[in-house]
Amino acid sequence: MKKLAVEDVRLALKETQYPSVWEKADKMPDDDLKKACFRTDFGMDSLDVIELSMSLERELSVSIPDSAISTYISNGGTVQALIDVFNTTIESL
Number of folded domains that form the chain: 1
| pTM beyond 0.85, yes or no | yes
- For 76, the domain range is 6-91
Chain centroid, CA 52 distance in Å: 6
Is 49 a member of any domain? Answer: yes
DSSP letter (8 states) at residue 28? S
Is 1 a member of any domain? Answer: no
pLDDT tens track for 30-80: 999 999 999 999 999 889 999 999 999 998 999 999 899 888 888 879 999
Is 47 a member of any domain? Answer: yes
User: What H or E segment, with its residue span, contains residue 47?
Assistant: helix 46-60
| pLDDT for 74 | 83
CA dist 47 and 92 (Å) reads 26
Is 62 a member of any domain? Answer: yes
pLDDT tens track for 2-12: 899 999 999 88
Chain centroid, CA 39 distance in Å: 11
CATH of the domain at 31: 1.10.1200.10
Chain centroid, CA 45 distance in Å: 12
